[in-house]
A and B are shown apart, each in its own frame.
Chain A
């Protein structure tokens, strides 16, 4: 039996081993020794947490924290407003009123009348777009620089401590500008989004072209690294945390996911025959994804490695966003006018209602990103 099991050929085993070793070696190089915690400290933390949970169970807002999912429009007993975020970081939101930053304590600041935005690396700045302007902002709203271009959209910012780039789309195509607002240039004439920077060294950009191909190119040399076959319109592009996978959500007869290696081979892909995949988000630090599926009039949220739906109800979930610490997932539920925060293990849910009103919006606000605390 053992010999039989060891002889079974596995497609791509050697390539998989090489890919995994490069990722493991990099993780080993970048790891930081974790401090040893005293067992007494752990006991104290558990005791305090138990006391807080007990207190929360007795308080009105706490009931929402401990809520269960119900088959209703929205999570029952959701909090009437977004009083706080369940994890550290700040959420960037765009609504009819403009772009907002939500702090961990729930406070919100309107940065201005912009229609899209994204975080800079390390959360130090925000790049925002309005019809004919690209704007770099401080998270408190102060303007660093602006660039007038026609029909600006889809800005994304990447880079290191020393050197950053912003890619965006305007009437001419995909353009790239330095993080200081200098050196703006056309990268792909007629190109369009979605755009996604590779998280590794260098400036490597993935975008979808008009034929539905995913293209990955070096923004410095303009050299195309690889190009997928056309296969329907690309709705979203997302690199995994370490850049080893590129996930493309496509609109075909039914939406699906195609997952590519960083060298452009089709790694795997999924289709949901019984429904439509409305959103997906790769959990930071892993290659596992949370997915939102619409089956008929029902929405379902499936967390990685959790065997029952974490959320189920009418309508559709439009966006999924992980907290920077990967501990919580934010699911936007427009038909319920709620934001639902689901803990990674799927066992705890917090929800906030009246989301559109809180962001002074007629339509559901869009979550643009949940970023880290700014590094000083």
Chain B
């Protein structure tokens, strides 16, 4: 982080390689759309670049980035439902056809984005319930109940 703040491209690249895959995966698991996940992870990194000079190095970069990513992914999923949008990938000729979803992915897809988000933050991003509550601005009890319900539903599906 220090090197990136000083303008080092190689340090920025190391930071990117360290954090992008997980940010992208978290966005994908919440949004269930690879294109949207790419946009969400990309814009989150661009936001990070824009505020690089002001970033407090005493705070860890990963959780800060992941918080932006997950919140954006939840918002994107809600907004898409509001717009009544459907993907064209199956309607446009020449588009890549999505493969049959993995069992865990299909089970996750049946959860609401809010439940997916807490599962992803807890088990992919390794955040504690307290950290999740802070990131999503939710009471800790709500996070715990969403985790429990999410795991119950996943257990049923899997």
Interface residues of A (CB under 8 A from B): 1-2, 4-13, 16-17, 19-21, 23-25, 27-29, 31, 33-34, 36, 228-229, 231, 256, 258-259, 266-275, 285-288, 291, 293, 302, 304-309
Contacts and interface: CB of A to CB of B under 8 A. Distances in A.
A307 to B, nearest CB: 5
Given A9-B102, A258-B88, A287 B42 contact: yes
Contacts of B88: 256, 258, 266, 268-271
A11 B98 contact: yes
B25 A6 contact: yes
B75 A305 contact: yes
Contacts of B33: 268
B75 A229 contact: no
Interface residues of B, number: 60
A45 to B, nearest CB: 17
12 contacts: A8-B29, A11-B96, A23-B46, A24-B42, A27-B46, A28-B9, A31-B49, A33-B53, A266-B95, A269-B89, A269-B95, A285-B46
B92 A28 contact: no
A286 B19 CA distance: 20
Contacts of A228: 94
A302 B82 CA distance: 9
B66 to A, nearest CB: 13
Contacts of A309: 82
B53 to A, nearest CB: 5
Nearest to B126: A2
A218 to B, nearest CB: 22
Interface in B1-57: 4, 9, 12-13, 16, 20-21, 24-25, 28-29, 33-39, 41-43, 45-46, 49-54
A97 to B, nearest CB: 36
B102 A8 contact: yes
A16 B42 CA distance: 9
Q: Which of B38, B82, B94, B96 has the most CB of A within 10 A?
A: B38
Contact of B84 (A31, A273, A287, A308): A273
A24 B49 contact: yes
Contacts of B115: none
Contacts of A273: 84, 86
A273 B91 CA distance: 13
Nearest to A252: B91
Given A16-B24, A20-B16, A288-B43, 16 more contacts: A5-B119, A9-B102, A11-B99, A28-B9, A29-B9, A31-B50, A34-B54, A36-B54, A229-B93, A231-B92, A266-B89, A271-B86, A287-B42, A306-B79, A307-B78, A309-B82
Contact of A271 (B12, B39, B85): B85
A309 B41 CA distance: 25
A320 to B, nearest CB: 14
B35 A2 contact: no
A16 B41 CA distance: 10
A1 B152 CA distance: 13
Given A16-B24, A28-B12, A268 B53 contact: no
Interface in B73-112: 75-76, 78-79, 82-89, 91-96, 98-99, 102, 104-105
A6 B79 contact: no
